[in-house]
Amino acid sequence: MTAAAPPNHAEGLLRARFASIGGRTRVLDLREAGGYRMRFPKVPAGPSSAYEAVCINTGGGMVGGDRLGLDFACGPGAALTLTTQSAEKMYGSAGATTQVSTALDVEAGGRLDWLPQETILFDRARFARTLDVRLAPDATFLALEALVFGRLAMGETMRTGLVRDRWRVQRGGRLVFAEDLRLEGPVEALLDRPALGGGARAFATLLLVASDAEARLEPLRAALAPLGEGVDWGASAWNGLLSWRAAAVSPERLRRSIVAALDHLRGQPAPRVWQ
């Protein structure tokens, strides 16, 4: 759970455990606080379908100083897709940092797809996010996070601010993936550097942890080859992990590439709230 938010700022929490009961995944022990809610739309039955849960921020965005804790556990044999109702907005801050902490736990034989929609960063936003994942040795995990630097459709960009993004993934108690991103100060100028963003304003990272992750690399590359220009992407695989990264000037082009990657890796369309 996150520490107490500063005065006049919001502190939210979503915590739930999901279990396989009679071969069907169900939610247990749900806790909602601070304007955050979960809903569970019906998903058409199919060989690869998973129970779907949607995280909702009834406040419509987050401001500097707001804090959110997300804590979800997927029990043995459960199959779960977690997503968000819409893109999350991080508004400008006078100095305080917005913090989002996500903890995910997938037990033996479980499968969890963590697929929030994009995070949109307004100018002067200060945003820090952590993703901590604990997996059983035979669990399957698919994670996606996407950042959009500005409300670009309105002609707005994130000129200055702070972005910190930290991932830690453990499998069988052993650290298998670690990543840290930090952009601070003149964010727009930093993203224009060829070695950093090359002018892109929308980015996505996708990570698959699965027993067959390495075997799925070349099929993924072949499936995404028809995307054409407008999105720079690359994929690699090692030690039971597959990583795909993409960057684009246009968030719309990036989303199309994300949906194509998810369709291929999941064997089913992206969650319905994405459409």
Expressed as residue numbers, the domain containing 51 is 11-270
pLDDT tens for 64-90 read 999 999 999 999 999 999 999 999 999
How far is residue 84's CA from residue 115's CA, in Å, rounded to a whole number?
8
How far is residue 151's CA from residue 223's CA, in Å, rounded to a whole number?
30
Q: Is residue 2 part of a domain?
A: no
How far does CA 237 lie from the centroid of its chain? 19
pLDDT tens for 12-43 read 999 999 999 998 999 999 999 999 999 999 87
pLDDT tens for 83-111 read 999 999 999 999 999 999 999 999 999 99
Q: Is residue 240 part of a domain?
A: yes
Question: Which pLDDT belongs to residue 226?
Answer: 87
pLDDT tens for 193-237 read 999 999 999 999 999 999 999 999 999 999 999 887 789 999 999
Q: Is the pLDDT confidence value at 248 over 90?
A: yes
Nearest by Cα to 247 from 177, 181, 168, 172: 181
Q: Is residue 96 part of a domain?
A: yes
Report the chain's terminal Cα–Cα distance, integer Å: 31
How far is residue 79's CA from residue 27's CA, in Å, rounded to a whole number?
11
How far is residue 92's CA from residue 97's CA, in Å, rounded to a whole number?
10
Q: Is the pLDDT confidence value at 61 over 50?
A: yes
Q: Is the pLDDT confidence value at 46 over 70?
A: no
Q: Which two tokens stand for residue 191?
A: 């993203």
How far is residue 12's CA from residue 57's CA, in Å, rounded to a whole number?
9
How far does CA 200 lie from the centroid of its chain? 19
pLDDT tens for 146-200 read 999 998 888 889 999 999 999 999 999 999 999 999 999 999 999 999 999 999 9
Find all residues with CB under 8 Å of 49, minimum gap 6, and list them. 43, 79, 268
Question: Which pLDDT belongs to residue 4?
Answer: 53
Q: Is residue 161 part of a domain?
A: yes
Find all residues with CB under 8 Å of 155, minimum gap 6, and list them. none
The tally of domains found in the chain comes to 1
Q: Is residue 193 part of a domain?
A: yes
Q: Which stretches does DSSP call E strand in the chain?
A: 11-21, 24-33, 36-39, 51-57, 67-74, 79-84, 88-90, 98-106, 111-115, 119-121, 126-135, 140-149, 161-171, 174-185, 202-209, 231-238, 241-248
Is residue 185 within 8 Å of residue 195, measured between CB atoms? no
Question: Which pLDDT belongs to residue 1?
Answer: 46
Q: Which amino acid belongs to residue 48?
A: S
Q: Is residue 186 part of a domain?
A: yes
Q: Is residue 3 part of a domain?
A: no
Q: Is residue 28 part of a domain?
A: yes
How far is residue 152's CA from residue 89's CA, in Å, rounded to a whole number?
13
